[in-house]
Amino acid sequence: MQSSSANQVLKQEIQLFNKQLDMGASAFASGDQKTYHDAIESTGRALGNMCKSGSVELALALEALWYQKLVKKTESDEHYSACFSHHTSSMWSAGRRMSPGPIMTGDPDCIAFVAHNSVLLGHTEVMLLVMEDWRRRYAHLRLIFVGLTPCQPDLLRRLSDIGIEAITPADKSQPLSLTSWLRKTLISENTGTAIWLSSPIWAHFIFGYRIAIRQVFWSVKFHAVHLGKEVTHIGMTKQCDGIVKIHGKPWLAFQPPLAVQIKERDSNTRANLRGIYDDKFLFASIARDEKFNSPKFVTAVAQILKRCPDSIFMFTGREISPVIEKIFTDYGVTDQAMFIGWVDTELYTNLIDCFLETFPFGCGITGMQALSHGTPVISLWDKNTLPTFYFQDSEQANRFDKNWLISNTETDYVDAATDCFRRWTRGEKRTPTSREKIIFLDSPKYEQFFKLVTGS
């Protein structure tokens, strides 16, 4: 009888949680920010309460849904930190409570990169850059990749190309089983250091549970969770060294490398791939759909399209942002917009004529891919846009390369994109950007990261 009653309570708890998720998502779509944030807080606190009451498996399972449905809709560091503040300590405590205990041994030369999802995205692209460099630089290291989901073929191929072993479960399992599997796997590999890749989901529980002697949380985007002195925290920061305080917590400062490999294509190949759009000027932003929830950015794009009637704007993601739908409709430019879903970012940054970097949160890997191809990149000097991670100010940034145009205001941003279109109408051809110049921006970072990871 008690079991049946407990199951009924649990079912009601899940229904209430999902109802609040739906309410928050609907509020965001309608522009009701208060209800949206209230839903995030109430569901975040609910996750913490589940951990305290012993429903840890449920809390971990629902956290991923909460993250996808509510948290990711707003792209800012402050937002992520606030969202996870409601349950991080409870998740950590649950992990510590359920842990078999400290790990006593591990080879310091065996370093594992651990990913919540084994997919090829921006953070794993950066990981691959680090792994490839470390393989050349530190021959004594044994590097492995451990993912908590079956490995996506593209990522598996890229890992294989640089000689890195990928260890993943045979199929999707429940969070607690995966956590136990992860710990046992790293112990069997005699891993000395485990580097958690960026995603805050489960990190607080898993590091509380303990998976290696040295545990590193590496943020390649937002600083959502801080797990105390037992974990080394490496942040996504501007150019600086040492320890920086982010949301009042200490992080090791690091600006990661972003200049990934590209394939060279001649103009005829590009024209053939563009197909029926070869006579159109192609603007594009290759980014996650959450970045298109910025009204200021989307309004700037709409203004550009109004000024450039012979152009198309391509944009990516899992689904079309309601912000884009509303603003493009209001400006009457929906016929110039093309949603292209998930694409090969390296290919599309080469095919287009102008890359529009999103703001206030910019485009790291894809922006550098576009620049490497000689595709003009329009950036706004804003808090978290790409040029601010490489240069001291917009004047210095604008001296770097003529294909990278950095504006100080949204009006200037629109003007720069419009000028790029007008040069195309006059028949001006794009000019290449020195690949060596771009790679040089990142060259010192690999050794710096190694020292941060190993504490050397």
Q: Is residue 440 predicted with pLDDT exceeding 90?
A: no
Q: Is residue 120 predicted with pLDDT exceeding 80?
A: yes
Give domain 267-441's CATH number out of 2.10.10.90, 1.10.340.30, 3.40.50.2000, 3.40.50.720. 3.40.50.2000
Q: Is residue 347 predicted with pLDDT exceeding 60?
A: yes
Phi first, then psi, for residue 56 (nearest 5°) are -70, -45
Contacts with 8 (C-beta within 8 Å, 6 or more apart), sequence order: none
- Out of 158-167, 265-274, 381-390, which region has the weakest mean confidence (pLDDT)? 265-274
Tens of pLDDT, residue by residue over 154-179, are 999 999 999 999 999 987 789 999 99
Looking at residue 108, what is its pLDDT? 96
Q: Is residue 3 predicted with pLDDT exceeding 70?
A: no
Contacts with 108 (C-beta within 8 Å, 6 or more apart), sequence order: 192, 193, 214, 454
Residue whose C-alpha is closest to residue 317's, from 342, 297, 294, 293? 342
In a 10 Å sphere around its CB, with 0-12 CB exposed, 13-18 middle and 19+ buried, how is residue 14 labelled?
middle
Q: Is residue 113 predicted with pLDDT exceeding 90?
A: yes
Determine what percent of the chain is predicted with pLDDT higher than 70: 99
Q: Is residue 77 predicted with pLDDT exceeding 90?
A: yes
CA distances in angstroms from 381 to 88, 276, 339, 395, 431, listed in the order given: 32, 34, 26, 10, 23
Looking at residue 1, what is its pLDDT? 41
pTM of the model: 0.85
Q: What is the pLDDT of the chain when averaged over all its residues?
A: 93
Q: Is residue 233 predicted with pLDDT exceeding 80?
A: yes
For the residues 386-410, what does the mean pLDDT come to?
94
Contacts with 133 (C-beta within 8 Å, 6 or more apart), sequence order: 257, 446
Tens of pLDDT, residue by residue over 185-211, are 999 999 999 999 999 999 999 999 999
163: DSSP letter: T
* Contact by Cβ (8 Å): 43, 66: yes
Tens of pLDDT, residue by residue over 27-68, are 999 999 999 999 999 999 999 999 999 999 999 999 999 999
| Interatomic CA distance for residues 36 and 293, integer angstroms | 14
Tell me the sheet residues that pair with 254: 236
* Burial profile 335-353: b = 16 or more Cβ within 10 angstroms, e = fewer: ebbebeeeeebbbbbbbbb
Contacts with 142 (C-beta within 8 Å, 6 or more apart), sequence order: 107, 109, 110, 111
- H helix intervals, 256-321: 267-274, 295-307
Chain-centre distance for alpha carbon 208: 23
In this prediction, residue 111 has a pLDDT band, given cuts at 50, 70 and 90, of very high
Looking at residue 6, what is its pLDDT? 62
Question: 106-256 maps to which CATH number?
Answer: 3.40.50.11380
